[in-house]
Amino acid sequence: MSALSDGERRKILNILKKGKISSGDLAKEVGMTPQALSYHLKKLKTADLIYESKFKNFIYYELNLTILDEVVFWIDSLRKDDENEKQK
């Protein structure tokens, strides 16, 4: 959850929902220096929210939809539990 708490990281995830993108293009689109972007990407990778792949001299990033689906499922179950408690 801490990886999602930062607005810059959420901006990166919104860009990545369009598909795989190189780190250089991502830095331009987000408007960050490569060093600042690297910091945020490390946080997102540690949380398993993104994948990193290398091709020749380029590094590409994309969303890890599996983990995002798990988070959505978990949050939805919390809502259902809360609704069940309120109905009692």
Per domain, the residue ranges of the chain are 7-87
Joined together, the tokens standing for residue 23 give 């780190």
61, 55, 58, 57: which is closest to 13 by C-alpha? Answer: 61
Note the Cα 82 to chain centre separation in Å.
26
Joined together, the tokens standing for residue 62 give 């994309």
pTM of the complete model: 0.77
pLDDT 10s per residue in the chain (88 long)?
A: 778 888 999 999 999 999 999 999 999 999 999 999 999 999 999 999 999 999 999 999 999 988 878 888 988 898 886 666 666 5
What DSSP assignment string belongs to 38-82?
Answer: HHHHHHHHHTT-EEEEEETTEEEEEE-HHHHHHHHHHHHHHHHHH
The architecture (CATH level 2) of 7-87 comes to Orthogonal Bundle (1.10)
